[in-house]
Amino acid sequence: MKFLQLNLWQGRLIKNFIQLIKKESPDIINLQEVYAHGPDINSLGLNNLEELQKNLEYKFSYYEPFQTFSFGNSKVSYGLLILSKFEILKKEAIFTNLNYKKEFIY
């Protein structure tokens, strides 16, 4: 079984990461610093989750936000993502520093 863990560095590594995954084909991927957004934000660098799901063929995933903030009229979240070729039977995220912030303000 191949396992990969990576800090996505707030999406700055997304293109290289997708190439790496397609080449190495790990069974389970653990990611930190993944952005996800509402449907009305397009390609502003806040769409890591959607970009990964569109470009990689992992049947199972689990996303756990760490922060959510407003961006225009949309909500953007930032957190952890697991992609897996195997069914995820139990879902739980444990943050070792701070707790989830629903309305994070910079």
Query: Tell me, what's the pLDDT at 74?
Result: 77
| Residue 82 reports pLDDT greater than 90 | yes
Task: Give percent of the chain above pLDDT 90.
Answer: 39
How far is residue 1 from each of residues 4, 24, 29, 32, 84, measured CA to CA in Å?
Answer: 10, 12, 11, 21, 11
User: What are the tens digits of pLDDT across the range 15-41?
Assistant: 899 999 999 999 999 999 888 875 555
pLDDT at 29: 96
How far the first Cα of the chain sits from its last, in Å, is: 40
pTM: 0.81
